[in-house]
Amino acid sequence: MLGAQLNTEPATRSPLLPSTCTATIPNRRALITLFSRLRTSDGQSDPAPFYARLRESGEILPAPWGGHLVNSYRLCQQVLKSRQWLVPSREWRTRDNDASRWNSPSFLLMNETLPMQNPPEHTRLRRFLGNMFNGGVLDSLRPVIQRAVQRQLDHYMNRLREGPADFVTHVSEEIPVVTIGEWMEIPRADYGLLRALTHDQVYTQELFPTASEIEVSDAATARLRFYFADLVQERRRKPGTDPVSLWIQRWDAIEPERDTADSTIHSIAIFMILAALETTSHLLANVVRLLLEHPDQLAQLQENDELIPDAIEEVLRYDAPIHMISRVAAEPTELAGAAINAGEIVHLMVGSAHHDPTHYREPHLFDVRRRLGGPAGHLSFGAGIHYCLGSTLARLEAEVLLKALLPLPLSRLQIAAPPQWAPRVAFRRMTTLPLALN
Ligand code: HEM
């Protein structure tokens, strides 16, 4: 999704386009140390100071491994919305100096997915998918989510009566997989497998996966490919009213070649699972973590549940599930004084942009009354042509969870031990959030 495995050598700049970036640039070693620390479980427990350091050093900085880091809200939004910037697609990866590193099966799978396509292919696929989670689809999924939330919360509250228990395992990871599983009509017995495979596959989308992480990702990719190839064939044999059957039906009407149709639908289906699970789980766990860490904000929400939509947007701003998005320049260009060559990559540090004091009033404060003004108020779902197709579904899951949580005796609920975090940079993952009843 992010195409973030990169050259570890310093950027080679065109002599015709010297960088005029005037910021106080920390030296390369200092930046490498900063990212090494950010990428630990400890660094992930509070990335804000790392991002503050990046912003202090400039809106845009040369990345130690090549390309640039973009740290301000203004520039991140500008790049995401501009047609002059492309996603690092298969074509870009093939031209990359170190193209061989993109040849592992997990990278090849990502090449086929929607967020790795540029226009015109991207436009064609977006038109084909349309507004997947429109009002009607959300109305039909709401009771599914409500049942899942109620079941998981009942079970979780019972577990808490016996002692501390992990909110991530019992609640936040369950709700997204049940929601997507029921939407795609996947057998319940397979939810655990799909959840595990998505955790393993994500390494490929991270900054600098190690060789052993890529191996784990490749193994998960192979199993996901088999699983969804079977699913597509089964839906061909026995079509239903699920999205995969509908995509087959619609694609067959425009694409005479059945193998091409099957492989397109196969990639779409796999990506839905990859896109929907960890991200939404992070949002749900973070809603609870941030409210328990800020009892004054929780009290405001309990007094006035009309603040629920604003609170969800504030959680998405304060700590987005995805902290980094990558783009490459279509043409030679300039960004805040930095000269960028055609094909050069920029990493949009969305987690940093969300705490940019030039865009947000007191960004370090978690404030459920912030009123971010709808989708334009943060970049958690991206912006521009790749804007997340599942944003309304993720928001609905968070809303249903909050509505079920607020009437519970939350003042008795507390964080029993510091949450643990996966050592990542781009895709945040809280691995445990142990809560207890006092
Ligand atoms: C809180 C949960 C979620 C977050 C934070 C999130 C975030 C994002 C972001 C940042 C992008 C844009 C990536 C880019 O510009 O390169 C994106 C794209 C996408 N997301 Fe989500 N997502 C979430 C949930 C979901 C769900 C539930 C689904 C589907 C069931 C989904 C499906 C997609 C798809 C298909 C794209 C690709 C859009 C395109 O390239 O045109 N996402 N998401």
The answer to whether 284 and 428 have CB atoms below 8 angstroms apart is no
Nearest-CA residue for atom 41 of ligand 1: 386
> What is d(CA 177, CA 190) in angstroms, rounded to the nearest whole number?
10
Please give the number of the atom of ligand 1 that sits closest to the Cα of 350: 10
> Model's pTM, two decimal places?
0.93
Q: What residue ranges line ligand 1, CB within 6 angstroms?
A: 1, 87, 114-115, 126, 180, 271-272, 275-276, 279-280, 283, 321-322, 325, 380-382, 386, 388-390, 393-394
> What is d(CA 276, CA 69) in angstroms, rounded to the nearest whole number?
26
Please give the number of the atom of ligand 1 that sits closest to the Cα of 87: 16
Nearest-CA residue for atom 36 of ligand 1: 388
Nearest-CA residue for atom 40 of ligand 1: 115
> What is d(CA 153, CA 258) in angstroms, rounded to the nearest whole number?
44
> What is d(CA 74, CA 77) in angstroms, rounded to the nearest whole number?
5
Report the pLDDT value the prediction gives residue 1, as an integer from 0 to 100.
39
The answer to whether 50 and 38 have CB atoms below 8 angstroms apart is yes
Q: 414 CA distance to ligand 1 centroid (A)?
A: 31
Q: At 208, give phi and psi (nearest 5°).
A: 50, 60
Q: Please list the pLDDT of the chain residue by residue as tens digits (438 residues).
A: 343 333 333 332 222 222 333 345 678 889 999 999 999 999 999 999 999 999 999 999 999 989 999 999 999 999 999 999 999 988 888 877 666 667 788 888 888 899 999 999 999 999 999 999 999 999 999 999 999 999 999 999 999 999 999 999 999 999 999 999 999 999 999 999 999 999 999 988 888 888 899 999 999 999 999 999 999 999 999 999 999 999 999 999 988 888 888 999 999 999 999 999 999 999 999 999 999 999 999 999 999 999 999 999 999 999 999 999 999 999 999 999 999 999 999 999 999 999 999 999 999 999 999 988 755 599 999 999 999 999 999 999 999 999 999 999 898 999 999 999 999 999 999 999 999 998
Q: 115 CA distance to ligand 1 centroid (A)?
A: 8
Three-state DSSP at 28 gives: helix
Which residues have C-beta within 8 Å of that of residue 11, sequence separation ≥ 6?
62, 63, 66, 67, 68, 344
Please give the number of the atom of ligand 1 that sits closest to the Cα of 326: 16
> What is d(CA 262, CA 273) in angstroms, rounded to the nearest whole number?
17
The closest alpha carbon to 289, from 176, 398, 392, 438, belongs to 398
Burial 2-31, CB ≥16 within 10 A → b, else e? bbbbbbeeebebeeebebebebeebeeeeb
- Site to substitute for ligand 1 among 388, 389, 396, most atoms within 8 A of C-beta: 388
Q: 309 CA distance to ligand 1 centroid (A)?
A: 19
Nearest-CA residue for atom 42 of ligand 1: 390
Q: 386 CA distance to ligand 1 centroid (A)?
A: 8
The closest alpha carbon to 382, from 342, 425, 353, belongs to 353
The answer to whether 164 and 416 have CB atoms below 8 angstroms apart is yes
Q: 17 CA distance to ligand 1 centroid (A)?
A: 34
Please give the number of the atom of ligand 1 that sits closest to the Cα of 384: 15
Q: 381 CA distance to ligand 1 centroid (A)?
A: 6
Q: 122 CA distance to ligand 1 centroid (A)?
A: 14
The alpha carbon torsion through 414, 425, 427, 117 (nearest 10 deg) reads: 170
Q: 88 CA distance to ligand 1 centroid (A)?
A: 16
Nearest-CA residue for atom 18 of ligand 1: 388
The closest alpha carbon to 350, from 373, 321, 379, belongs to 379
